Every structure is written in structure tokens, then in C-alpha cells.
Structure 1
Amino acid sequence: MRTSAGLLLHRAGETGTEVFVAHMGGPFWRSRARAWSIPKGEPFPGERPFDTARREFTEEIGVPAPEGSVVDLGEHRQSSKVVRVFAVHAPGFTVDTVTSNTVRLELPRGSGRFVEVPEVDDARWMPLDEARELLVLGQVAALDALASALSGSTG
């Protein structure tokens, strides 16, 4: 089974915990529900999962992943892969413009024509409950794990 590692930033917001999530780019995700994701990706051979999560965050968002206290939220099954998610408390993190790496897609499939599209076309802070409604279903359990890890703390 394929594996990925992701970085879920969190902070305390006006109405509770907020998380920083990304909208997947390209025509497939443009008008789909649940098109938001924790910034994540597949490891290089021998790469540690947390290092993968930090590298992928930088590639998909366009700025280095912030430093902060880290909580391993475990592995969560998303379709045909398992995503290991790390939470980082990053109350001061801001980004003005998302500058994602691109991926090459054949459009339409089988046509022999290829286009480059951003892997991520938007990213933002949102309340935990809103993220539960927008994230791909396989990642919602990571939000629940974060909420559980934060219970009793200031978040």
C-alpha cells in the first residue's frame, strides 16, 4: 500500500481550533466537494515521515513549514494509501500567496496532450468543523485525532 506523510498546522481561533488546509489543484478538483486536503505527499526512499511532511508542505504551499510543537496523529487510510499525519502548533503562521509545485496531467486522458497544473491552488486557515465538511473523507479522522490530542490544552 502506498504511503504519504502530511503536516496539519493548527492554532486557537476566535471560535475554537483552526487548521491550515489546502485545496487540490487541477480540473478534477475544481468543482468537487471534499476537494481540500492536509498538505502531504509520498516519501523519497529512506526519508523519515516527518521530514516528508515538512518537505511536501514546502512544495505544496511555497513557503517553509513552520517550527512548533509536534504531535504525531498516526496513520489514516485514504483510499488506496495510508497517510501519516503530524500536527504542528503554528499560531503565527501566515502566507500571502500559495505557490505550489506543479504536476503533469494528460487531458483528456488518452489524448496525448499534457498540461501542467498546480498541485494546490489555494490554502487557508479554517475552523475545525468547517474542515471536517471540506476535507477528503479519508483525512477527517486526522482532524478527530487532533481534537482528541488538544482536549484539555489551549490548542
Structure 2
Amino acid sequence: FWRGKNEHAWSIPKGEFDPEGEDSCDCARREFTEELGTALPDNAELVALPIVKASGKHIHPFLVRGDFDPATLVSNTTEIEWPPRSGRRLTIPEVDAAAWFTLEDAVDYLHKGQGPLVRAIAQELAD
């Protein structure tokens, strides 16, 4: 489905969490590890950004101050039905690539609903 698509096809690592049972910072660390295959260093600073509503979901984003080499990506896998309603099941990587973008380019690559994150990151970096 995503093959050959780049514009507005990228997303930040994210997942669901129960605010009553898990801290959003702990969830961010867990999702980073699950989706990128490497844990954030214990000393990596996570900075909470304003909550963004995208595709009917509330995203609790964090800016990570630390190092990450996109070449170290080792994605977990997920099972999908492809083509839809075919009954055929495929196991695919949840994440097929990781990359750094300038803030200007990120607006063009991130899902449109995540565009406000770029403004929040720019504001945080300016402070």
C-alpha cells in the first residue's frame, strides 16, 4: 500500500495507551522501542508537546533530545489482509524506514494531521 509513497505518508512512532494505567512518557518510550527496534537511552530527555488531534485520535507527542541513527531501525511486524477482503494474510514490517527531515521538509512528509507537530517542535527548539 505504501510502496512508492512519500508525500504525507510518514508518521511519528506512536501507539495507544490507557492514561489511567500508563504514563504517556512511558508509553512514548515503549512505542519508540517497539516501532524502531531500539530503546531510547535512559538519559534521553523527553519533552512533552501539545496534544494533537489527528484522524479522530488524540496524539500525546514527545520531542526526544538524544541521538538516534535511522540505520539501526529493526521494525516489529504486523499481519494484514492484502488485498483488502481477499482473505489473504501477509506479515509485513510495521515500519519500513526511518529518516531525519528538516522541519520544512517534515511538513510535506508527515501525515497531514501530524503537521501541527512541526510547529510545536519548531517552537520548542526556539525556546
**CA-atom RMSD, angstroms?**
1.6
Give the match for residue 14 of structure 2.
Answer: 40
Please give the alpha-carbon distance, in whole angstroms, between the structure 1 residues aligned to 2:84 and 2:107. 31
1:110 alignment partner AA: R
2:8/2:109 contact within 8 Å kept: yes
How far does residue 95 in structure 1 lie from its aligned partner after superposition? Answer: 4.2
Give the match for residue 2 of structure 2.
Answer: 29
State, as a whole percentage, how many aligned pairs show the same letter: 44
Give the match for residue 36 of structure 2.
Answer: 61
Unpaired segments ≥5 residues, structure 2:
none
Aligned to 1:102, which of 53, 67, 77? 77
Q: TM-score, normalised by structure 2?
A: 0.88
Q: Per-residue CA shift, 1:18-77, capped at 9, x if unaligned?
A: xxxxxxxxxx22233211111111125712111111111111111102332322102111
Q: TM-score, normalised by structure 1?
A: 0.73
Give the match for residue 73 of structure 1.
Answer: 49
Matched, 1:82 2:55: no
Give the match for residue 121 of structure 2.
Answer: 146
2:8 alignment partner AA: R
Please give the alpha-carbon distance, in whole angstroms, between the structure 1 residues aligned to 2:65 and 2:34. 20
Higher normalized helix content (fraction of residues): 2
How far does residue 130 in structure 1 lie from its aligned partner after superposition? Answer: 1.0
Higher normalized strand content (fraction of residues): 1
Please give the alpha-carbon distance, in whole angstroms, between the structure 2 residues aligned to 1:54 and 1:110. 34
Give the match for residue 24 of structure 1.
Answer: none
Q: Deviating runs (4+, > 3 A) in structure 1?
A: none
